[in-house]
Structure 1
Amino acid sequence: MAKLNSILDNDFYKFTMQFAVSKMFPRAQARYQFINRGQHQFPEGFDHRLRTAIHELAKLKLTKAEKEFLRIRCPYMDPTYLDFLAGYRYDPDEVQVEQSGGELSVSIEGYWYRTILWEVPIMSLICELFYESSEQPRISNDAVREVAKEKMAKYDRLDITVADFGTRRRHSYEVHDQVIRTLKHQPSKTFIGTSNVHFAMKYETTPIGTHAHEWFMFHAAKYGYKMANLLGLEHWSDVYRGDLGIALSDTYTTEVFFKQFDKKLSKLFDGVRHDSGDPVTFAAMTIAHYQQQGIDPLSKTIVFSDSLHYDKVENIVHFCKGKIGYSFGIGTDFTNDVGLPRMNIVLKMVEAKPEDGEWTDVIKLSDERGKHTGNPSEIAIAKQILKIED
């Protein structure tokens, strides 16, 4: 049965955000909700299997070797945080799992600094348990490695850098392990690391990540939509002092983001991450923004991470080459290409409660028009405040 064997089997940006949250917002609370975008139907008893797997997570703890890995590879995380993480344990009471017919409900509530680690492990468990329950045979491990090798051979020819971002919707731990092992042993320098901290340690590569949409969503709940991007980035730079300098741009649309991404922040951050909307349009906007700020776009990097596959990457490279730096975070196309339909699920923050504040709906306004997520009335308010038209 699916289970996790390491507390570091999670995306790096969950730990980097946890560190920042514990320093800046230790009394903030959060609620998360599972969203079944693919309308997958879960078999009878799936909720029991998932609950059992979630309770197993409570047994995980940071080992001395894992703590030493973080100390060496992440010097911007101070010793007090590493000591905290060594004492951290998942609390299954923070998670509620229910099932009605084929519909699955998962909700999380608690202090933000604690609940922030749940999203990625629960999503990966849902995926693995779903495939186990369906009993549909996947391709062999040899075939998994061959597929990964063939993909990297094509990416090698593009002369780019690629990282694995595939933990959340992977087919299984075993498939993920086979993929990372294959990428690590490629003779090229194309593969530069993984968002999964456990595999970064296991295969002696770089853990990659900065922050996610929830960082800015919380800032909107605390400070308002007009200040969310600006204060989110200011607070990030206050914590990391120039490290982890790729800014996520599309929480409230990239157009709004660039209005607040002033010359100071544009110079301070190493680049931006693209996660929704047309990537070429985004690249053109980013290049124009840096030029308007008097900054050479070639001194900056765009990290592309939205549903990437080879043809999409090739198109991006052809546009960006010689204009701006670029790198790629590839997720499901690496870790769930096993001959079965891929799952389309997310687990998002839906409400936040700042210290001395009230529970507030949080939303995301995607660059893909009409695909905003969250409470419709709150979306309408945010669009009006930010003057966004679909």
Structure 2
Amino acid sequence: MIITSLLDTDLYKFTMMQVVLHHFPAAEVEYRYKCRNKGIDLRPYVDEIRDEIAGLCRLRFQEQELAYLGSMRFFKSDFIDFLSLFHLQQKYISVQPSAADNGEIDITVKGPWLHTILFEVPVLAIVNEVYFRATQAAPDHAEGRKRLQDKMALIRDNPAMAGCKVADYGTRRRFSRSWHEEVVQTLQRDFAQHLVGTSNVHFAMKYGMTPLGTMAHEYLQACQSLGPRLRDSQIYGFEMWAKEYRGDLGIALSDVYGMAAFLRDFDLYFCKLFDGARHDSGDPFEWGERLIKHYQDNRVDPSTKTLVFSDSLDFGKVNELYLRFKDRTRVAFGVGTNLTNDLGYTPLQIVMKMVRCNGQPVAKLSDTPSKNMCDDQAYLNYLRQVFEIAEPVAAAS
């Protein structure tokens, strides 16, 4: 089996799941999968993917895993009790060859949010590993190790990067579970002074690392349906988060409606309440400058806040961003695909996004239009109007 532990996922799945248990236990949602690569034929692997998902659905949380989660101060005992009874159920997920007959596959997850939220990350990891073990029967691990050493040296051997902190965010698009584990072990051994933790809860437990993560796009998207008014859905999401965690897990996600809409909602109260924000689309340098100015305009010292960068990072970009902002604010970096799927092969750009909540369409309108995913154009247009988001400018032909 590819997935052997329900902890083999990102921490923010559990932090969001606790909010769902306590505040939205009846919410019904739908997720859809998409591969952004062109010309990838995944149809031959449908049966194998289904078999791996069946294995995933047989897993239960072990006592030591529950004890580990329970040791984190922000998880409450009733949530741990719920997890002791939890398992993923196959009736909520469907994997089929695409009806468009274009080589793609359709993966749909539909059911109670509380019982489906943990599908996304392991299912994407399964698709990745099934594909790469079929197409790369003899992986070039030596090349991967060389690339990893070169990346670490770029930061480790530069005195100007002494304070740079990097985390592993690479679970969902990793080459394989075993390669991910080797990367984590190598980082611990050769990059310890710069390694701040991992988003993967299983490896955090196994290797004594700090698990990292707060919220993902699906949480703020769901609030479009669950909140009292669409225009206030981002504010509502942040307020509910603060109500649940009372100061813990204080990094806000900034790109569900784009940076301009985020800054309009992220007022003095939120500037003081949250520890910082996470970038996940658009120009990271522009984002950092705008957020620093926003803090200054709200009479908040940017040097007390943390800017987390996590959008398609490589170590060269980490280097540039750190040198740009290190003397003005706290900065941290989550590197995903470039860490755990860089052996010389083109990674799969696969995602699984929430598209509906309680029967209503939900969407994000990020500063990178290609990251948007919604099946209702009328709703997207309405969302742009409500949040004062201009239509993206079409590229010149």
Report deviation, 1:349: 0.3
Matching residue within 311, 314, 337 for 1:309 = 314
Matches within 5 A, 1:78-93: 78-93=76-91
In the aligned structure 2, how far is the partner of 1:316 from the partner of 1:212? 22
Amino acid at match of 2:196: I
Q: Using the alignment, how far apart are the partners of 2:241 and 2:38 within structure 1?
A: 36
Q: Is 1:168–2:167 an aligned residue pair?
A: no
Alignment of 1:32-51 (within 5 A): 32-51=31-50
Unaligned runs of 5+ in 1: 354-358
Q: Which amino acid is 1:263 matched to?
A: L
- Residue in structure 2 matched with residue 131 of structure 1 by the alignment: 132
Name the CA distance, whole Å, in 2 between partners of 1:178 and 1:266: 38
Mapped to 1, the partners of 2:166 and 2:252 lie a distance apart of 18
SS of the residue corresponding to residue 378 of structure 2 reads helix
CA distance in 1, matches of 2:380, 2:150: 42
1:244 partner SS: coil
Alpha-carbon contact 2:43-2:104 (below 8 Å) kept? no
Contact 1:138 1:340 in 2 (8 A): no
Give the C-alpha shift of residue 43 in structure 1. 4.7
CA distance in 2, matches of 1:341, 1:86: 39
Post-superposition shift, 1:125? 0.3
Trace 1:10-29 onto structure 2 (pairs within 5 A): 10-29=9-28
Shift of 1:311: 2.0
Q: What residue is the counterpart of 2:254 in the other structure?
A: 249
Alpha-carbon offset, residue 146 of structure 1: 4.1
**For 1:276-295, what aligned pairs fall within 5 Å after superposition?**
276-295=281-300
With over 3 angstroms needed to count, the CA separation of the structure-2 counterparts of 1:370 and 1:148, relative to structure 1, is closer
User: 1:4 corresponds to which residue?
Assistant: 3
Q: Which residue of 1 aligns with 2:53?
A: 54
Query: What's the secondary structure of 1:58's corresponding residue?
Result: helix
Q: Distance in 1 between matches of 2:293 and 2:223?
A: 27
One-letter amino acid matched to 2:25 = P
Deviation at 1:208, TM superposition (A): 0.3
SS in 1 for 2:197: strand
TM-score by length of 1: 0.95
Alpha-carbon distance between aligned partners in 1 of 2:254 and 2:3, rounded to the nearest angstrom: 31
Moved more, 128-137 or 61-70: 128-137
Q: Give 1:93 shift.
A: 1.0
1:227-270 Cα distance to aligned partner (Å, 9 max, x none): 11111010001000000000001001111011111111111110
| Letter aligned with residue 9 of structure 2 | N
Residue from 242, 245, 251 that aligns with 1:240 = 245
Find out whether 1:94 has 2:92 as its counterpart. Answer: yes
Task: Tell me, in whole angstroms, the C-alpha distance in 1 between the residues paired with 2:343 and 2:172.
Answer: 16
Query: Runs of at least 4 residues of structure 1 off by over 6 A?
Result: none
Q: How many residues align?
A: 382
In 2 relative to 1, CA 320–61 (structure 1 residues): closer, same or farther, beyond 3 Å?
A: same
The code of the aligned residue for 2:343 comes to V
Secondary structure of the residue aligned to 1:272 is: strand
Match of 1:198 in 2: 202
State the distance in 2 between where 1:63 and 1:40 align: 40
- CA shift for structure 1 position 44: 4.5
**Contact 1:372/1:379 (<8 A) preserved:** no
Number of the residue aligned with 2:113: 112
Paired residue type of 1:181: Q
Instruction: Specify the alignment match of 2:216 in structure 1.
Output: 212
* Contact kept? 2:74, 2:248, Cα under 8 Å: yes
Q: Residues 40 and 343 of structure 1 are in contact (CA less than 8 Å); yes or no, is this contact kept in structure 2?
A: no
Q: Secondary structure at the match of 2:372?
A: coil
Aligned residue for 1:349? 354
Q: Take 2:230 and 2:263, find their aligned partners in 1: how far apart are those partners?
A: 14
The amino acid across from 1:119 in the alignment is: E
More deviation, 380-389/122-131: 380-389
User: How does the TM-score come out when normalised to structure 2?
Assistant: 0.93
The CA deviation at 1:52 is 0.6
* 1:105 CA displacement: 0.5
Which segment is superposed worse, 40-49 or 126-135? 40-49
1:45 aligned counterpart, secondary structure: helix
Mapped to 2, the partners of 1:362 and 1:300 lie a distance apart of 30
Q: Does 1:320 align with 2:325?
A: yes
Moved more, 336-345 or 149-158: 149-158
Q: Deviations along 1:112-153, whole A, 9 cap, x unmatched?
A: 01111000000000000011222453212x553443233222
Gaps of 5+ in 2: 393-397
Mapped partners of 1:277, 1:230: distance in 2 = 21
Query: Quick one: which amino acid aligns to residue 205 of structure 2?
Result: M
Q: Deviations over 1:278-306 (max 9, x none)?
A: 00000011001100110110100100000
What percent identity do the matched residue pairs reach?
37
